[in-house]
Every structure is written in structure tokens, then in C-alpha cells.
Amino acid sequence: MLELGGTVTMTVETPVAAEVDVLVAGGGTAGCLAALAAARNGACVMLVERHGYLGGMVTAGNAGLTMFMKFSGDPEEHAADQETLRERPLDVQIAGGITKEFADRLISSGAGIGNFGQAGSYIFTSSEDTKRLLFDMMEEAGVQLRLHSWAADVLMEGDTVRGVVVESKSGRQVILAKMAIDATGDGDLCVRSGVPFHLGVTPDDITVKDGAKIGEMHAMGVMFKAGNVDLKTTFGWLTENPNRFAKQPFARFTFAEAKAHFERGDMATINILMDETPRRFQVYNLPTPGVVTLCCPSFSGDGTNVEDLTRAEVVLAGMVDRWLANMRANVPGFEGAFLLDCPEIGVRETRHIAGEHVLNIEDIYKQVDFPDSIGRGSHPIDTRPRPAWLQDPETSYPPRWFFHIPFRSLIAKERPNLMVVGRCMSATHEAFGCIRPTVQCMITGEAAGTAAALSVGKGLDDIRALPFEDLRNALTDQGVLL
């Protein structure tokens, strides 16, 4: 007789469905880039994704690609960098390789909009066109896809991952692999294989000394799309009511810049202040006229807890309805707006997986140039609490700031053939606020996929035995900006 809360031990025969060189679990931005990089470097690759499409937050979550440019908090520096982006983009961009190729293909096809035809602070996309582009890129590279499949468990031999257990409508199956890359967003493979982790704020965060609560996580949220929006009318209203405009914290556009970008058909982002309180609505234009993305109703909870996730979906559905009603009633240009798409909850932060190096906020702020740097990021910290010396994004950062990402932070601790990419890589809560945005996730994915393929090609069963110079040379050949 079973008791509530009890456990059951079962032995289940599970067929081996495939054997590959590299298995990537999770088809978001980090996982897609990992799979592409591994396949282009000669590996036999399978990408496992629980949905029927790829792209993660960029397609299903309505998020943009951010950031491709060095960060300048000062308005004059930002304006100068925008001109440089138009004339000499490589002088201000921080990401190259397959990451930049993906952005360029989005923009050139009309599925994404940047600035001056270039990848700048943000690129927002047509979700359905982006899904198709990712399918095309996977087919071109020869990546095997396994959609509608959950990466449910791992097969271990000592400290080594020998395979991944997947669950789907076809039942439970095993995919054997020489190298595994965890791009699940929550570090599911790492947790199943016993790698240590911290949820939310970690004991290594500086702000713990000032009272930050260990385990506290960044709120979950949702970016939703509205149709039948006349942004030309909205910009006209803001011209007459400049007190209702606020700069988006990280895009840094003034109202004049945002309006000029919009009129040119470029990416524009505005914060609309609804009244005298700090309440604001972030609005992003999209490649499809009349359609915008709005950000971000939020809910505090644990994204690894199914009850919290369920409650978040219910609460945020009501919040989205109220937000849009408020916009229809109070913002010219939104009078006839309707809800076009409200995705499932976007989980920003859960587990921080222990790696060979834990990236911290001082590493990032001080721009430590690691001997094993695999790429650069430029997104300012986007979590709270923040260290006292990093409170004001207008003035706290050095001019034209970026940071380096070490390869060791992608190697799961004491797991020789398992890497972790994306937002749950080895970092503190404070550093995670710079790592979690999409461009940084893609950079980590490209590096891990390349490293996995090189290791297989050399017959290595321990990623740590790969000479870093070989990885650096391969990334450089791919156009990665180190």
C-alpha cells in the first residue's frame, strides 16, 4: 500500500534509441548554438528539446537578443557608439562567430530588427520566422533533432555521463553520448548527475554581508505581444507629454533617439510612465507593423517548484489582462490593442551549477581577462540586491564596458564530460545578472559545442584535457571575438 509522500523503487527496461558524439539538452539560445558549433566542428550531434520548436526565450518567450554592443551608461558615449555602430560596427560589438551570424541572418531576412542594419543593444524578432531559421540552420549543419522530448535523467559510470534518459510520447528511451551539454536553463542534467548547486543568492555573493537572503531568486516574468498598436500615434503623444517617457535602463535611448530609430524602421524601445508613480511599461517594436512586445509582469517564486510555476501562470494571466486594459484606456495608439500572444512563464533564475570556476561580480566589473576566456559579454547586472558600489547603471560602469567569460565556468564540477551553458552556468547570483541575457547565453553555447567536438575528435573523454589553445584557435577561426 502506497502512502502520500512515499517513494517507489522500480526497475524499467529502457531501449537505447541512438548513440552520438555530443548530446545537447535544451534548445534555447545556448543549446542551439552549442549544437550548431559541435556539428560544424565535425561531431555527430543530437539536440533534445521539450517543445516542438527551438529558440527558447527568443521564440517562445518573446525576448530579444541582447547585448551585442559594449555598454555605455553615459548618454554622450552611447550616442557616439550608435554612430560608430553605423560606420564601424566591429569597433563597438563584442560578439562574433555563429552568434553574430545568427543575428545577421535574422536582420537580413527581415525576421529581426537592429540598428542601422546591425546588431546593437537589442534585436527583436518575428518569433515564427526565427523558429524556421533555426530549423534551417540545424539542417544545414546536420544536427539531429529530437523534439517533444524531456531530458529526464542521466546514465552514469562513475563520474562520467554515459547517456541521457529522455521521455516522450514514444516512451522512455536512452541516448548514449561521449559528451553532454546541459542547456536546460535549470541545470537539470547536472542535478541528476549529482553536481552541487545553489538556488538564487549564493553564500559567495557580496550582498549577503549586507543582509541579502541566501536562496532568494530573481522574479519570474512574462513578455507578451499585443496587436493593432499604432506606435506612430504613441510617439506623437509622447512628444507632447515628455514626462511620460523614461529611458529603458540598458538600451539607453533618449526619446529623440528612440523616435528616430522607429521612424527609420529600426529597433526602438520606450518606457511609458503611466502616472506619477514609478510604474512603467516597457514597449518594444517588432518587424511586423502594428505588433509590439510589452514587458514585464512578474511573480516571485521558485522556477524549480511545480506548484510555484502553476500559481505564476494563473496570476500572470490576470496581470497581463489588467496591463493591456490599462494601456488601452490611457495610452494613445493602444486604443484597439488586443492580446496576440502570452507565452508560458519566463524563469529568469533558479540553480547556479558548481563549475571549475565560479564567476563573480568582481570578475565581471573589473573586466578580468581570464587565460581561458571564450568570449565577451556586455549586459550590466540585472539582479537585486546589488553591491552598494554598483547601484546606478548610469555612472557605475567604466566607459564602453564589457567583460570576459572563462571556459572553466562551463565545466561541471568533477564531471569530465559534462558542460553547462546559459543562465545556470557556474556564477554567483550577482554575476548571473550579467550572464543570463540571450547573447551571453549564445556565446557560452558556441564555446561548449566547439570544445565538445574538438575533444571527441582528439579521442578525449575528459574535457579538461583539451588544450585551451586548440579551443581558442577554433573559436578565432569561427570569428568569435575574444
| Predicted confidence (pLDDT) per residue in 170-216, tens digit | 999 999 999 999 999 999 999 999 999 999 999 999 999 989 999 99
C-alpha gyration radius of the chain: 22
The residue that leads in pLDDT, 82 or 230, is 230
Assigned domain for 9 exists: no
Domain boundary among 287, 318, 341: 341
The pLDDT confidence band at residue 278, using thresholds 50, 70 and 90, is low
Q: Is the pLDDT of residue 343 over 80?
A: yes
The domain that holds 410 is classified in CATH as 3.50.50.60
Are both 229 and 284 inside the same structural domain?
yes
The pLDDT confidence band at residue 6, using thresholds 50, 70 and 90, is low
Q: Which of 208, 201, 214 is nearest to 352 (CA)?
A: 201
Mean pLDDT, rounded, for 436-453 = 97
* The three cell numbers locating residue 279: 510604474
Whether the bond between 371 and the residue before it is cis, its omega within 30 degrees of 0, is: no
The pLDDT confidence band at residue 59, using thresholds 50, 70 and 90, is very high
Q: What is the pLDDT of residue 241?
A: 93
Separation CA 349–CA 18 (nearest Å): 32
Mean pLDDT, rounded, for 37-62 = 97
Contact 166, 146 (CB under 8 A): yes
CA 356 centroid distance within chain: 21
Mean pLDDT, rounded, for 57-70 = 94
Q: What is the CB neighbour count within 10 angstroms for residue 183?
A: 36
Q: What is the pLDDT of residue 459?
A: 98
Find which of 67-71, 77-81, 438-442 is predicted with most confidence, using mean pLDDT: 438-442
The pLDDT confidence band at residue 381, using thresholds 50, 70 and 90, is confident
| DSSP structural state of residue 85 | H
Assigned domain for 45 exists: yes
Are both 22 and 166 inside the same structural domain?
yes
Burial class (CB within 10 angstroms; exposed 0-12, middle 13-18, buried 19+) of 348: buried
Q: Is the pLDDT of residue 302 over 70?
A: yes
Contact 224, 293 (CB under 8 A): yes
Mean pLDDT, rounded, for 8-25 = 88
Assigned domain for 270 exists: yes
Mean pLDDT, rounded, for 261-279 = 83
Mean pLDDT, rounded, for 34-38 = 98
The pLDDT confidence band at residue 432, using thresholds 50, 70 and 90, is very high
Q: Compute the CA torsion angle 123, 128, 133, 138 (nearest 10 deg).
A: 120
Q: Report the amino acid identity of residue 223.
A: M
**Residue that the C-alpha cell 522556477 belongs to:** 303
Question: In sequence order, what are the beta bridge partners of 401?
Answer: 71
Are both 374 and 470 inside the same structural domain?
yes
Q: Is the pLDDT of residue 393 over 80?
A: no
Q: Which of 3-12, 140-149, 336-345 has the lowest mean pLDDT?
A: 3-12
- Residue ranges making up the domain that contains 234: 220-341
Mean pLDDT, rounded, for 128-157 = 97
Q: Is the pLDDT of residue 5 over 70?
A: no
pTM value is 0.96
Q: What is the pLDDT of residue 359?
A: 98
Are both 48 and 174 inside the same structural domain?
yes
Separation CA 76–CA 415 (nearest Å): 47
Q: Is the pLDDT of residue 51 over 80?
A: yes
Q: What is the pLDDT of residue 290?
A: 96
Q: What is the pLDDT of residue 357?
A: 97
Q: What is the pLDDT of residue 7?
A: 67
Strand extents, DSSP E, 234-383: 245-246, 269-273, 280-285, 292-295, 298-299, 338-341, 351-353, 373-377
Are both 232 and 291 inside the same structural domain?
yes
- When divided into structural domains, the chain yields a total of 2
Burial class (CB within 10 angstroms; exposed 0-12, middle 13-18, buried 19+) of 393: middle
Separation CA 295–CA 314 (nearest Å): 17
Q: Is the pLDDT of residue 98 over 90?
A: yes
Are both 68 and 106 inside the same structural domain?
yes
Assigned domain for 1 exists: no
Q: Which of 380, 449, 453 is nearest to 420 (CA)?
A: 449
Are both 324 and 283 inside the same structural domain?
yes
Which whole-number Å values give the CA distances from 252 to 64, 123, 271, 457, in the listed order? 15, 14, 11, 44
Assigned domain for 6 exists: no
Separation CA 94–CA 69 (nearest Å): 6
Separation CA 285–CA 269 (nearest Å): 7
Element (H, E) at 59: none
Assigned domain for 159 exists: yes
Are both 141 and 290 inside the same structural domain?
no
Are both 187 and 274 inside the same structural domain?
no
Q: What is the pLDDT of residue 481?
A: 95
Separation CA 124–CA 63 (nearest Å): 7
Separation CA 294–CA 224 (nearest Å): 5
Q: Is the pLDDT of residue 402 over 80?
A: yes
Assigned domain for 472 exists: yes
Q: Is the pLDDT of residue 130 over 90?
A: yes
Q: Report the amino acid identity of residue 355.
A: G
Q: Is the pLDDT of residue 8 over 80?
A: no
Q: What is the pLDDT of residue 4?
A: 64
The pLDDT confidence band at residue 75, using thresholds 50, 70 and 90, is confident
Q: Which of 369, 424, 425 is nearest to 402 (CA)?
A: 369
Assigned domain for 236 exists: yes
- Cα angle 299-354-50, degrees, rounded to a multiple of 5: 55
Mean pLDDT, rounded, for 147-159 = 97
The pLDDT confidence band at residue 392, using thresholds 50, 70 and 90, is confident
* The three cell numbers locating residue 316: 500572470
Q: Which of 382, 381, 351 is nearest to 185 (CA)?
A: 351
Domain boundary among 302, 322, 341: 341
- Cα angle 435-33-282, degrees, rounded to a multiple of 5: 50
Mean pLDDT, rounded, for 409-434 = 97
Mean pLDDT, rounded, for 398-410 = 95
Q: Which of 73-77, 147-151, 240-244, 354-358 has the lowest mean pLDDT?
A: 73-77
Are both 357 and 329 inside the same structural domain?
no
Are both 337 and 359 inside the same structural domain?
no
User: Rounded mean pLDDT of the chain?
Assistant: 93
Q: What is the pLDDT of residue 253?
A: 80
Are both 68 and 201 inside the same structural domain?
yes
The pLDDT confidence band at residue 73, using thresholds 50, 70 and 90, is confident
The residue that leads in pLDDT, 246 or 66, is 66
Domain boundary among 341, 362, 392: 341
Element (H, E) at 443: helix 438-457
Element (H, E) at 144: strand 144-146
Q: Is the pLDDT of residue 2 over 70?
A: no
Return the percentage of the chain with pLDDT > 70, whole number: 96
Burial class (CB within 10 angstroms; exposed 0-12, middle 13-18, buried 19+) of 34: buried
The pLDDT confidence band at residue 389, using thresholds 50, 70 and 90, is confident
